[in-house]
Amino acid sequence: MPGFISAAGKYIIETASNAGYGVVMLGEALYWVRTAFKRTKDIAFQMQVCGIQSIPVTLLVGAFVGMVLALQTGLSLKPYGIQHLIANIAALSMTREMGPLMTAVILAGRVGSSLAAELGTMRVSEEIDALEVMSINPIKLLVMPRVVALTIMLPVLAIYANVVGIIGAALIGNIQIGIPYDAFFRDCMNSLELRDLYSGLFKTAVFGLIIAAVGCSEGLRTTGGTLGVGESTRRAVVNSLLLILISNYFMTSIIFRLFY
Amino acid sequence: MIELVNVHKTLGGKNVLDGITLTIERGETFAIIGRSGTGKSVTLKHIVGIMMPDSGKVIIDGVDLSRLSRSELLAFRKKFGYLFQSNALLNSMTVFENIALPLREHEKMTDSEIEALVREKLALVEMDGTQPLYPESLSGGMKKRVALARAIVRDPEIILYDEPTTGLDPITAASVNNMIRDMQDKLNITSVAVTHDINSAYTIADRIGLLHTGKILQVGTPEQIKNSQDLRVKQFIQGIALGPLTA
């Protein structure tokens, strides 16, 4: 029993310490956003690597999420004769929830892991120490561009995912349920309001911040050589996903309370 | 002047530095020798402030590093150049970009001025012409030279060398030793080198200190160390497997 309590206590302290490091690092990165105009090249490069190169996988995910959403919803509603509501459900679900969430989940795996691996490798090969010795703040040089890039690009990717998801849903709605395309898209447009789009994009921007902060934080705290880099990469993905899911619930609650 | 005053540091439950006290005068080259894993690199990292002591003080030119804020420490490090054991070149940047990085971050220089200064420093280490190459395409000796060019690009007052000849063949190691000695003669700066290569220490150092179990056992000129009657010093410089250092 004492061993369990000691281990639990150690875990809690370690988790709190890691979380504290991440929060302080993110705060400092946000402070250095004021120098972003001097680092447009770095930010643009990160937007390309983290964002634009993620478009193919995001489109694929968006399409299949929309398709399975339409399939499941259509099959469930058909016995009641209200399967035409697929369009409304697909549009609202994709823009408010599924588009932002699935985009964030995919990027947590794809980008979060690469951030942790890249910065972790720099840490174990003393490149981060070299920057500090050259009086160069690694958070200003390395973390800030990544935070800015992901906060901008995730909402952009979510828009792509939403559009492709709705198209995928329309495809299934037509093939499986027999809903004409023009009726489907008309119902989509009628059910959507701007607040649905904004709420989804706001959440996605927060998810981008989370992925960048967790990935960079785990990378900068890497110890223990190549094994440590692997550990950091794994933790970056798991912790990003957990924070995304937890924050999604609370943000959704607050948004509904305030705007719906 | 560099002063370490009764510096203690524990890492992973082990007393790596156990009351180390050392003074290095301005303009001298001091070599810290010792067995692998005795805290030589940790000592160097304390001098530049990458690590902070658990107790004791590190005083550089009258400034206690532990009293500086993070931003003050970052600014203070401008007087240092550091040659890492692993060279620590940024692999995502070319040779030119690696050396130009501190200039672009801290100096108000035009692109052509930066280009000229980088060429000058690379010429000092006989590596002019490698500007467009990436570190992965350089040999170990070439990386060492490029890393040294980066360390001296802002004309530091103090250069720290962490195992400068480790992993190099004897000819390249001798060439690096000569380069360090040349740098000292030309730039007249304070240098601190940590090494387990005793011949390297004899070549480059004005004074040598033997570090063991977290303390400096003896300090002397190369001649004094060579002729030392201390059995621990003799064991190290003669490379004897069994003795007081390994008891």
Q: How far apart are CA B159 and CA B124, in angstroms?
A: 15
Whole-number pLDDT of residue A117? 97
Beta-carbon separation of B50 and A122 below 8 A:
no
Phi, psi of B121, deg, nearest 5: -70, -35
Q: Which residues contact A180 (CB under 8 A, 6 or more apart)?
A: A174
Q: Which residues contact A203 (CB under 8 A, 6 or more apart)?
A: A100, A101, A248, A251, A252, A255
Higher pLDDT, A114 or A176: A114
Whole-number pLDDT of residue B11? 87
CB atoms within 10 A of CB B185: 8
Q: How far apart are CA A23 and CA A248, in angstroms?
A: 18
Beta-carbon separation of B86 and A129 below 8 A:
no
Whole-number pLDDT of residue B151? 92
CA-based nearest residue to A115, from A27, A21, A209: A209
Whole-number pLDDT of residue B82? 94
In chain A, residues with a C-beta closer than 8 Å to the C-beta of B88 are: 125-127, 129-130
In chain A, residues with a C-beta closer than 8 Å to the C-beta of B84 are: 126, 129-130
Cα–Cα–Cα angle for B56, B60, B64, nearest 5°? Answer: 45
Q: How far apart are CA B145 and CA B178, in angstroms?
A: 12
Q: How far apart are CA A18 and CA A220, in angstroms?
A: 11
Answer whether residue B241 shows pLDDT above 80. no
**Secondary structure letter of residue A63 according to DSSP:** H
Q: How far apart are CA B68 and CA B63, in angstroms?
A: 8
Beta-carbon separation of A127 and B77 below 8 A:
no
Q: How far apart are CA A154 and CA A193, in angstroms?
A: 21
Higher pLDDT, B240 or B73: B73
What average pLDDT does chain A have?
94
Q: How far apart are CA B77 and CA B55, in angstroms?
A: 21
Three-state secondary structure call for residue A26:
helix
Note the ipTM here: 0.86
Beta-carbon separation of A133 and B48 below 8 A:
yes
Whole-number pLDDT of residue B149? 93
Chain A interface residues (partner B, CB cutoff 8 A): 122, 125-127, 129-137, 141
Answer whether residue B244 shows pLDDT above 80. no
Look-up of token digits 């302080």: A24
Q: How far apart are CA B178 and CA B169, in angstroms?
A: 14
Q: Does B84 touch chain A (CB under 8 A)?
A: yes
Cα B98 to Cα A137, B114, B131, B148, B191: the distances in Å are 15, 12, 9, 11, 22
Nearest to A129 among B88, B89, B105 (CB): B88
Whole-number pLDDT of residue B214? 84
Whole-number pLDDT of residue A213? 96
Q: Does B104 touch chain A (CB under 8 A)?
A: no
User: Mean pLDDT lowest for which of A60-69, B111-120, B210-219?
Assistant: B210-219
Question: Helix count (H) and strand count (E) of chain A?
Answer: 12, 0
Q: What is the mean pLDDT of residues B213-220?
A: 87
**Secondary structure letter of residue A223 according to DSSP:** -
Using pLDDT thresholds of 50, 70 and 90, give the confidence band for residue A78: confident
Using pLDDT thresholds of 50, 70 and 90, give the confidence band for residue B78: confident
pTM of the model: 0.88
Using pLDDT thresholds of 50, 70 and 90, give the confidence band for residue A260: confident
Q: What is the mean pLDDT of residues B77-101?
A: 93
Beta-carbon separation of B101 and A129 below 8 A:
no
Question: In angstroms, what separates the C-alpha of B77 from chain A's closest C-alpha?
Answer: 6
Using pLDDT thresholds of 50, 70 and 90, give the confidence band for residue B237: confident
Q: What is the mean pLDDT of residues B121-131?
A: 92
- Closest residue of chain B to A118, computed from CA coordinates: B92
Using pLDDT thresholds of 50, 70 and 90, give the confidence band for residue B74: confident
In chain A, residues with a C-beta closer than 8 Å to the C-beta of B102 are: 134-136
Run of H or E residues at A119? helix A113-124
Beta-carbon separation of A126 and B90 below 8 A:
no
Whole-number pLDDT of residue A120? 97
Task: Write out the two tokens for A81.
Answer: 């004769």
pLDDT one-digit tens code per residue, B39-61: 888 999 999 998 899 999 999 99
Beta-carbon separation of A127 and B90 below 8 A:
yes
Question: Where do the DSSP E strands lie in chain A?
Answer: none
Whole-number pLDDT of residue A83? 84
CA-based nearest residue to A110, from A161, A51, A28, A188: A51
In chain B, residues with a C-beta closer than 8 Å to the C-beta of A134 are: 77, 101-102, 105, 150
Question: In angstroms, what separates the C-alpha of B86 from chain A's closest C-alpha?
Answer: 7
Residue B66 contacts residue B52 (beta carbons within 8 Å): yes
Residue B118 contacts residue B99 (beta carbons within 8 Å): yes
Phi-psi category of residue B194: left, alpha or beta, with phi > 0 → left and psi -120 to 50 → alpha: beta
Q: What is the mean pLDDT of residues B153-173?
A: 88
Using pLDDT thresholds of 50, 70 and 90, give the confidence band for residue A237: very high
Cα–Cα–Cα angle for B148, B155, A36, nearest 5°? Answer: 85
Q: Does B69 touch chain A (CB under 8 A)?
A: no
**Secondary structure letter of residue B92 according to DSSP:** T
Three-state secondary structure call for residue B195:
strand
Q: Does B101 touch chain A (CB under 8 A)?
A: yes
Query: Which of B77, B121, B136 to probe the A interface (max A CBs under 10 A)?
Result: B77
Q: Does B106 touch chain A (CB under 8 A)?
A: yes
User: Mean pLDDT lowest for which of A227-231, A236-240, B233-237?
Assistant: B233-237
Q: What is the mean pLDDT of residues B203-211?
A: 92
Using pLDDT thresholds of 50, 70 and 90, give the confidence band for residue B216: confident
CB atoms within 10 A of CB B134: 16
Whole-number pLDDT of residue B168? 81
